[in-house]
Structure formats: structure tokens, C-alpha cells
Amino acid sequence: MARALVTGSTSGLGLEFGWQLAGTGHDLVLVARDEDRLRAVAEQIRDVHDVQVEVMPVDLSDRRQLERVEIRLTDPVDPVDLLVNNAGYGLRGGFLEVGVEDHETQLDTLMRAVLVLSHAAARTMVQRRRGAILNVSSLAGYTTAGPYAASKSWVTVFTESLAMELKGTGVSATALLPGFVQTEFHERAAMSMDGLPRITWLKAPYVVEQALKDTAKGAVLSIPSVKYRTAGEMSRIAPRPLVRAMTSPNWYHRLQARSVERSRRRASRRNLRAPWQREDDAT
């Protein structure tokens, strides 16, 4: 039976990866910081699927803890066939508004952990002549939206490079570049995204399903949905001054302003209704 190791596996895309992989018969190694939540997720998956689920409570930004996952990926007795580097989080505020220590910790998770774990997994998988690495990046990597976007740009380029180096070894590397996905990501970063239209969002099950299909095919880039593939291509070929103007770190402040304006308009429309209509809204 195949085994997958998933980081950031207690919420969002990581949680969905765990469930879908278990549903296709994969044993799991789940990695996350919150031990209680990690064990609860593992128990829920075991109750539904006949698979083995290991748990590794690890903070990937801590080099010593990261080494535990690195060692697990090189285990010759219970090898890992698929590595999903999913762990990540956002920071609220501009580059200068956030302490540099917080930026360093975030980049340790978003970049160093991906580098270290991909290196360990790839070397071991190449020896066995099979395996796959799936690195969760983002279309934000094509923008200029601060350190997070820069780190995702690195993940995409790194994965493309790794895929070429692994060509012919029986091992593949895929970068998943989703757009906006309905998960806890923005809520946990205390970021309100109410200003985005509903059509912008993708559902986590769909994103994960497409990513696993593309990984199985050995695709280097996985961009779910036609709208985001189109947006990705436009971002890649657009003049950089235009990209900077449209996706600078100030984009979130503009989004917040639109969100406030929409809320004001909705409140204004409610106040214009007849009294009995406003009563219906409250029931």
C-alpha cells in the first residue's frame, strides 16, 4: 500500500489531502503543529478508512523539529511514496508593519521546510526509482503581493527545476498553483476577503482532486480551473509595471475598502425597505 506524508494536515488543503488520499487507500503520515487537533484528525480518518495513520506534531519553522520529518522521509522500512509540502500561513499587514522575526519564521515554513523535505524525499525516492513530490505553491507567486507571494514564486521555480532534474528517474515533482480557495487560511490570518466576488473562489475538494490527478500524470504545474489557468498565463506575460500596479501589497487595503463600501450599500438598501421587509430579514 502506498504511503503519503502531508504537512499542514489539520486544516484547509492539507486536511483535504489527507481525506482524499486515505479514500484511495494511502497510509498517511500527518504533520502539523497542533498535536490535539492532529490526533483528532487521525482518529477520524481511521474511523472511516482502513488505513494506517501516523502523526508527527512538528513546528516546521524549528530546524530541530523539521529534522524529525526529514529523517522519517528516509525510512527504508516504511517508505513514503508521496510527499505533500502543504504547510503555510499568511501574515496580516505590510512588510514594514510586521516584525522581521515573524517574516523569518514564515519563510522558514514556506521555503526552508520545502527545500529540506524535498531534498530528503527526492534522494530516497530516486534510489527506489519511484515516488512523487507535490509542493503547494500559489498563483500569488506571479504577483508582487509581498513576502508571501515572493516565497510562492520561489516554490514554483524550485519545483520546476526539481522536476527537470528528476526526469527519467521514476520520480516526479509537481507545483500546485491555486487561486483563492475556501479554507481557514484567510480567517486564521485575520484577513477579511468579503470584497472578493463569489466566482473568484474555488472549493478545496476540487483543488485537491485536480492536484492529485496532475501529480499522478507527472505534470509539473497544476493550476485548477480554466479561469485561473487563464489568469496565470496573463500574469506571466503581462508587463511588470502593470503587474506591480494591480498586485502590489496595497491590494488588500483596496479589497478592504471595497468590502466596507459593499457593506455600507447593503445596509443602505435594507434601510430603504418597508418596515415589514426589514422584520423578515431579522427572522
How far is residue 272 from each of residues 70, 154, 265, 278, measured CA to CA in Å? Answer: 61, 51, 11, 9
Cα separation, 117 vs 86, in Å, equals 11
The Cβ of residue 163 has, within 10 Å, a number of other Cβ atoms equal to 20
Cα separation, 68 vs 35, in Å, equals 15
148 noted as active-site residue = yes
With cell 505553491, the residue in question is 137
Cα separation, 167 vs 1, in Å, equals 24
Cα separation, 10 vs 38, in Å, equals 6
Which of 89, 142, 148, 252 is flagged as catalytic? 148
Cα separation, 179 vs 140, in Å, equals 7
Decide: helix, strand or coil at residue 79. Answer: coil
Cα separation, 256 vs 75, in Å, equals 47
Closest CA to 173 of 126, 236, 229, 224: 126
**Which residues are tagged catalytic?**
148
